[in-house]
Amino acid sequence: MSTKVYTKLLQVPEGKVTTYGDLAKAVGLKNGQRVIGTIMKNNPFPVIIPCHRVVRSDGKIGGYTYGEMVKFKMLTKEGIKIKDGKIIDFDKEKFYF
């Protein structure tokens, strides 16, 4: 399952994000948000597979293996605007599979 999730995540371009739930649905996991979180946490290639682009459905950036500040900086560098831990214009920044 991990390979399928990582392959799907590679479709999310720089400057866009997806949610744990949307990624789960895209790979056929019903209510699989927690499974996706675990898979992201165990990502062996975080530089190649952009797990930092997976965020919470409420627009908050959520956790990251290397810390929320690192995730914040990576997303900001890609052009995502964040205020108080939440993505501004979340709907515009979302990638739809």
Digit-coded pLDDT (tens) for 38-97: 999 999 998 899 999 999 999 999 999 899 999 999 999 999 999 999 999 999 999 999
Residue 4: how many CA atoms within 13 Å on its side-chain side?
10
Q: Is 51 a catalytic residue?
A: yes
- How far, in Å, CA of 64 to CA of 67, rounded? 5
pLDDT of residue 46: 87
Q: Which of 9, 24, 26, 51 is catalytic?
A: 51
pLDDT for position 92: 95
pLDDT at residue 42 in the model? 94
Mean pLDDT of 9-34: 96
Going from the N-terminus, what domains does the chain have, and what CATH number goes with each? 2-92 (1.10.10.10)
- pLDDT value for 37: 94
